[in-house]
Copies of this chain bind each other. A is one copy, B any other.
Amino acid sequence: MSLDFKIHKTNGPARRATMTLPHGAVETPVFMPVGTAASVKAVPQHLLEELDAQIILGNTYHLYLRPGHELIRRMGGLHRFMSWERPILTDSGGFQVFSLNELRKVSEEGVEFRSHLDGSSHFFSPEHSMDVQIALGSDIAMAFDECTEYPADRQRARRSLDITLRWAERSKRHFDAHKHERPWAQSTEHRAQNAANADFAGKVPNLFGIVQGGMHLDFRRESAERLVEMDFPGYAIGGLSVGEPRELTREIIAGTLPYLPADKPRYVMGVGYPDEIAEYAAMGVDMMDCVLPTRAARHGLLFTSEGRVNIKNKKYAEDQGPLDPACGCMVCQRYSRAYLRHLMTAQEPLAAVLNTLHNLAFYLDTMKRVRAGLAVQTTAASPPL
């Protein structure tokens, strides 16, 4: 079995578990840094490892366009291509195509869209999304979905929900028929050099279903129940962080989780701020991803135990203190706020490197604390997350 999900401890709906994927074990709840185009922007892979990033996310849409999934397959898959031997999850491309807005056209068969790079025409179907994700060799692939925009009335959300369910079936059928074609089976020579990982070859990737339904709780329940009937090894809640208020995000997550099996991983896509990811973990979410820590870092927005810091602010110009006195990351241990501000002001490329290292450390440490809290709590009392 490729996905073994062992729950060690629960505290109300929250749980501490180990998810075993073809490329290794992941301790949950987990935050997954986003590595859109085969790189977590500005961070060398060995520093990601030092940060204890357990699993990263790759974007199918971007990798399909550049360098192309067939090239990555020939290179032995995404892990080998980018030299990242820990687990990788890929999205389905649905959300990215959805973001193109005016450049796309949805039909029952799939989505026609134009590349944001050169305007060229492309077509993604559930089957094609599966082919791409299998070629990339991700540990967890995502079913091809139509992400409902916000706001969406019931008629629009209904239509989106229905097509997503039909696409989920097609995704699963195609994925199950082709999942053995993952590239790492073909790269045993390379794997043999890495004894600890030599057993990758015999394993197969996993496909997660995605719950849609807009901000309508009855649709969310229906979407979840019908997906569960299809029996995926894990489930995601999609269509959030599309502009809705934060209260509504929480409400949809809280109203959907009860309809997802407790013995399988539950993933909320595209969230959130540090306090949100801790909160959602306490609500029983096992996996989350978000571009926020990496993207905000490149704009100088940094997350700390004392709140958000816009490091470009003039008040930090002569601040010799560390970015976050409570943080043990390599940035806070070595550099001052004054230096980090200077790097942003002078548009030095090192700014993106250091800011991203800190923000990721802060997110990963947040989840580490959540897991530690779940490890020691044995009563039903809520831990101070």
Contact = CB atoms under 8 A, between A and B. Distances in A.
A273 interface: no
B39 A348 contact: yes
Interface in A57-84: 62, 66-67, 71, 74-76, 81-83
A71 B342 CA distance: 11
A334 B46 contact: yes
Interface residues of A, number: 40
Contact of A353 (B44, B67, B81, B348): B44
B318 A75 contact: yes
A42 B349 contact: yes
A292 interface: no
A51 interface: no
A161 interface: no
Given A75-B320, A349-B349, 18 more contacts: A37-B342, A38-B339, A38-B343, A41-B348, A41-B349, A41-B350, A42-B349, A44-B350, A44-B357, A46-B334, A67-B342, A71-B317, A75-B336, A76-B320, A83-B336, A83-B339, A298-B349, A349-B352
Interface of A: 37-39, 41-46, 62, 66-67, 71, 74-76, 81-83, 298, 317-318, 320, 330, 334-336, 338-339, 342-343, 345-346, 348-350, 352-354, 357
13 contacts: A39-B348, A41-B350, A43-B350, A44-B350, A45-B334, A67-B342, A67-B345, A67-B346, A75-B336, A81-B336, A82-B339, A349-B352, A353-B353
